[in-house]
């Protein structure tokens, strides 16, 4: 009997919500061994190995097929896997972990409300400052794809590891692409989302790696877990 | 195909030597620019869209570098390093590897590492002559290797600007249409919006504030914007000063006040973008448009005809030449003529050679003014594949 590996976020709200969601589906997830360890199991499904892994590493593991199933945000999948459509199967949307990836500019830019307006200001900005407007983000690929789809190319990406919302006020970038749930942090940092600036409405998903080694047994397990989650009441 | 066997390697080497011998005999100096280039120049010139296709990396000192995605920009940099006056006439040729990430996955026609052989010429006053020369040499080189069934496709970004001139529209509309032309997917829509007189902005700035702005009184306009920000408790943050925001708002206001694009001008522009077919027939169609236009001028047409005549003089069979008004709109850094040479066996997605005029590139790479520049690069793996396909 071949075994199925399922990766669950290793910390924070996403881990709690995942565990709760699985419990409502009748899938009781438990840690194995030490409470601070990173391995677990599902009650009644002895052929499933649970691995606790950080969300971004789950995207990576799905991409290379070192796990069969994983739970992570769609934002990380779209950002980190250029051919997500072929490599990843979206099994089930989980109804939590909502986050929008958005383009936000300083609220004082009252002359800019769309990407087309950004395009209008890019050339005058370059004339004055000698460079294109900078976009701070950790979502380099989503940003590029989104702006390319709008025909906008006059900008430079500045990679941001954290506290992206602070970049415009700090003067290290002119605008940002980041995730937001309520918009509160953006407002607190004097930023506003562009009218057409929602790049992706993301939520946590149960995902299957199409490049992992699948057998009829692991396929059946995947279907079983997916069906149970689909039938489970939402929080 | 990458040269992973001795036979492939030697076939590519022999081919590259033949190409280089044609180029150097024609008076192009052989150069070998560096493979590793500063990423800045490419990203500034070509924009973030190419970053997605470029292998960018950071060296141990933290400098942002890239594997050259083409050899044209490195040749410009080499020219700038050699000459105090960037407009100094020069002709270069090169062969070597270039690197591009292939988002759809690499394949034989779209490898991530490929060899280019190409020519670039800078500072020529005789524009069409330089362009015809580059095209003729590329075709001569390809023919010398035995490929006979080529076709040549032309486009011209400068011709679009000329069409706008003869359409008799205001400079502001000309600029907006010129910008819009580079985005084929939204161009028809933009034409519709421009002629409808509908506002092209959706800013939520109060009309009273916009009305109070005046390009003749910038100080008062800035104060009005500052007061609006204060009243609405919006803090001025970031690197973009109040003056820039005010300036742009004034521009928005003034373009809102402007009359919509005339319907007959839009129709003329629409008809132009549909022109596609044999180069001589296309020339006749363009002549028809230009002669019927309000501000009819034959300058653009003369350029078109002179180029074809020069190509014919250089021995290019015009029956194999097509022109498409749409062609070249989404191509990187070209500013005027664009062209591609195709082989029947390879299909339209895999041209054998591409090139054109790129007068703005030298400035972007550090020169203080535009420099006349035209060049072309041959995709040598595709050429070899076409030759082997023809032989088998």
Residue B183 within any structural domain of the chain: no
Report the chain A residue with the minimal C-alpha distance to residue B43: A156
Same domain, B29 and B138: yes
Total of domains in chain A: 2
Residue B57 within any structural domain of the chain: yes
Domain that holds residue B128: 6-163+276-391
Position B296 scores a pLDDT of 63
Q: Is B237 on the interface with A (CB under 8 A)?
A: yes
Position B198 scores a pLDDT of 65
For the ranges A180-194, B202-216, B217-231, the lowest mean pLDDT is seen at B202-216
Q: What is the mean pLDDT of residues B72-92?
A: 96
Same domain, B57 and B109: yes
Same domain, B234 and B360: no
Same domain, A84 and A147: no
**Residue that is last in its domain, among B194, B228, B257:** B257
Q: Which of A108, A113, A144 sits opposite B52 (nearest CB)?
A: A144
Same domain, B283 and B220: no
Same domain, A168 and A132: yes
CATH number at residue B59: 3.30.930.10
Residue B185 within any structural domain of the chain: no
Q: How far is A108 from chain B (nearest CA, A)?
A: 5
Q: Which of A106, A113, A143 sits opposite B204 (nearest CB)?
A: A113
Mean confidence (pLDDT) of chain A = 92
Say whether pLDDT at A225 is over 90: yes
Q: Which residue has the higher pLDDT, B206 or A151?
A: B206
Same domain, B211 and B291: no
Same domain, B86 and B19: yes
Same domain, A227 and A194: no
Report the chain B residue with the minimal C-alpha distance to residue A156: B48
**A residues 132-161 closer than 8 Å to B (CB):** 132, 141, 143-145, 147-148, 151, 153-157
How many CB atoms are closer than 10 A to CB B309? 13
Chain A contact probe: residue of B43, B188, B232, B240 with most A CBs at under 10 A:
B240
Q: Which residue has the higher pLDDT, B190 or A170?
A: A170
Residue B384 within any structural domain of the chain: yes
Same domain, A18 and A81: yes
Percent of chain B with pLDDT over 70: 91
Say whether pLDDT at B328 is over 80: no
Q: What is the mean pLDDT of residues A207-222?
A: 95
**Residue that is last in its domain, among B197, B228, B257:** B257
Q: Retrieve residue B39's tokens.
A: 């990423």
Residue B198 within any structural domain of the chain: no
Same domain, A192 and A208: no
Same domain, A167 and A51: no
Q: Is A227 on the interface with B (CB under 8 A)?
A: no
Same domain, B26 and B144: yes
Q: What is the mean pLDDT of residues B37-52?
A: 76
Same domain, B248 and B282: no
Are the C-beta atoms of residues B238 and A104 closer than 8 Å to each other?
no
> Residue B44: pLDDT band by 50, 70, 90 thresholds?
confident
CB contact under 8 A, A171 and B225: no
Chain A contact probe: residue of B39, B42, B47 with most A CBs at under 10 A:
B47
CATH number at residue A128: 3.40.190.10
Q: Which residue has the higher pLDDT, A230 or A33?
A: A230
Same domain, A92 and A113: no
Distance, C-alpha A109 to centroid of its chain = 28
Same domain, A93 and A181: no
Are the C-beta atoms of residues A111 and B252 closer than 8 Å to each other?
yes
Chain B contact probe: residue of A128, A149, A151, A171 with most B CBs at under 10 A:
A151
Say whether pLDDT at B331 is over 60: no
Say whether pLDDT at A59 is over 90: yes
> Residue B49: pLDDT band by 50, 70, 90 thresholds?
low
Q: What is the ipTM of this complex?
A: 0.85
For the ranges B80-84, B145-149, B166-170, the lowest mean pLDDT is seen at B166-170
Say whether pLDDT at B329 is over 80: no
Same domain, A66 and A112: no
Q: What is the mean pLDDT of residues A105-117?
A: 94
> Residue A210: pLDDT band by 50, 70, 90 thresholds?
very high
For the ranges A213-217, B289-293, B351-355, the lowest mean pLDDT is seen at B289-293
Say whether pLDDT at B390 is over 80: no
Say whether pLDDT at B154 is over 70: yes
Domain that holds residue A69: 4-98+203-231
B48 CB neighbours in chain A (<8 A) are 143-144, 147, 153, 155-157
Say whether pLDDT at B82 is over 70: yes
Chain B contact probe: residue of A63, A78, A111 with most B CBs at under 10 A:
A111
Same domain, B145 and B38: yes
> Residue A176: pLDDT band by 50, 70, 90 thresholds?
very high
Total of domains in chain B: 2
Same domain, A84 and A107: no
A188 CB neighbours in chain B (<8 A) are none
Q: Which residue has the higher pLDDT, B50 or B192?
A: B192
Nearby residues of B15 by Cβ (< 8 Å), 6 or more positions away:
B145, B380, B383, B384, B387
Report the chain B residue with the minimal C-alpha distance to residue A82: B103
CB contact under 8 A, B240 and A119: no
Residue B266 within any structural domain of the chain: no
Residue A11 host element (H or E): none
Q: Is B49 on the interface with A (CB under 8 A)?
A: yes
Same domain, B335 and B246: no
A80 CB neighbours in chain B (<8 A) are none
CA B44, B47, B50 angle in degrees (round to 5)? 120
Same domain, A21 and A33: yes
CB contact under 8 A, A174 and B240: yes
């Amino acid at each position: 009997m071949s075994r199925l590996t399922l990766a669950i976020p290793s910390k924070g709200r996403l881990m709690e919500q995942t565990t709760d969601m699985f419990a409502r589906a009748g899938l009781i997830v438990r840690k194995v061994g030490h409470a601070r360890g990173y391995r677990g199991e599902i009650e009644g499904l002895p052929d499933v190995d649970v691995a606790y892994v950080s969300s971004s590493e789950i995207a990576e593991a799905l991409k290379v097929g070192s796990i069969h199933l994983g739970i992570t945000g769609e934002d990380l999948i779209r950002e980190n896997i250029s051919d997500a459509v072929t490599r990843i199967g979206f099994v089930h949307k989980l109804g939590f972990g909502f986050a929008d990836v958005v383009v936000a500019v300083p609220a004082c830019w009252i002359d800019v409300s769309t990407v087309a307006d950004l395009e209008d200001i890019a050339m005058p900005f370059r004339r004055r400052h000698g460079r294109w407007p900078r976009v701070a983000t950790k979502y380099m690929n989503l940003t590029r794809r989104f702006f390319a789809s709008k025909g906008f190319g006059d900008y430079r990406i500045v990679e941001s590891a954290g506290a992206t919302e602070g970049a415009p006020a700090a003067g290290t970038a002119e605008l940002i692409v980041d995730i937001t749930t309520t918009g509160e942090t953006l407002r607190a940092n004097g930023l506003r989302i562009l009218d057409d600036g929602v790049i992706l409405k993301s939520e946590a998903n149960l995902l299957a790696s199409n490049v992992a080694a699948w057998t009829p047994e692991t396929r059946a397990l995947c279907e079983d877990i997916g069906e149970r989650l689909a039938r489970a009441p939402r929080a | 195909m990458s040269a992973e066997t001795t036979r492939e390697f030697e076939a590519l080497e022999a081919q590259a030597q033949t190409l280089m011998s044609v180029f150097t005999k024609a008076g192009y100096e052989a150069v070998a620019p560096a493979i590793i280039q500063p990423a800045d120049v490419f990203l500034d010139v070509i924009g973030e869209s190419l970053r997605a296709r470029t292998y960018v990396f950071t060296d141990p000192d933290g400098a942002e570098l890239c594997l050259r995605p083409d050899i044209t920009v490195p040749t410009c940099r080499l020219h700038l390093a050699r000459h105090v006056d960037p407009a100094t006439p020069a002709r270069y040729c090169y062969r070597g590897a270039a690197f591009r990430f292939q988002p759809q996955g690499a394949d034989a026609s779209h490898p991530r590492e490929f060899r280019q052989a190409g020519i670039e010429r800078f500072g020529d006053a005789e524009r069409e002559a330089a362009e015809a020369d580059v095209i003729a040499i590329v075709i001569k080189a390809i023919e010398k290797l035995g490929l006979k069934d080529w076709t040549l496709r032309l486009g011209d970004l400068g011709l679009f600007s000329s069409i706008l001139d003869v359409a008799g529209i205001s400079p502001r509309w000309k600029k907006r249409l010129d910008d819009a032309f580079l985005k084929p997917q939204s161009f028809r829509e933009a034409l519709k919006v421009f002629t409808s007189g509908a506002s092209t902005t959706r800013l939520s700035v109060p009309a009273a504030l916009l009305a109070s702005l005046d390009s003749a009184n910038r100080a008062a306009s800035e104060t009005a914007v500052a007061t609006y920000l204060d009243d609405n408790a919006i803090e001025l943050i970031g690197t973009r000063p109040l003056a820039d925001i005010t300036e742009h708002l004034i521009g928005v206001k003034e373009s809102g006040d402007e009359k919509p694009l005339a319907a007959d001008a839009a129709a003329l522009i629409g008809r132009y973008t549909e022109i596609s077919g044999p180069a001589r027939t296309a020339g006749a169609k363009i002549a028809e448009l230009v002669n019927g236009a309000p501000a009819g001028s034959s300058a653009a047409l003369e350029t078109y005809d002179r180029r074809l005549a020069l190509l014919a003089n250089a021995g290019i069979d015009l029956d194999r030449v097509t022109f498409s008004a749409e062609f070249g709109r989404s191509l990187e850094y070209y500013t005027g003529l664009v062209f591609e040479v195709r082989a029947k066996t390879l299909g339209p997605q895999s041209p054998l050679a591409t090139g054109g005029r790129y007068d703005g590139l030298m400035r972007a790479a550090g020169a203080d003014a535009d420099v006349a520049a035209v060049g072309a690069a041959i995709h040598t793996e595709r050429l070899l594949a076409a030759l082997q396909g023809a032989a088998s």
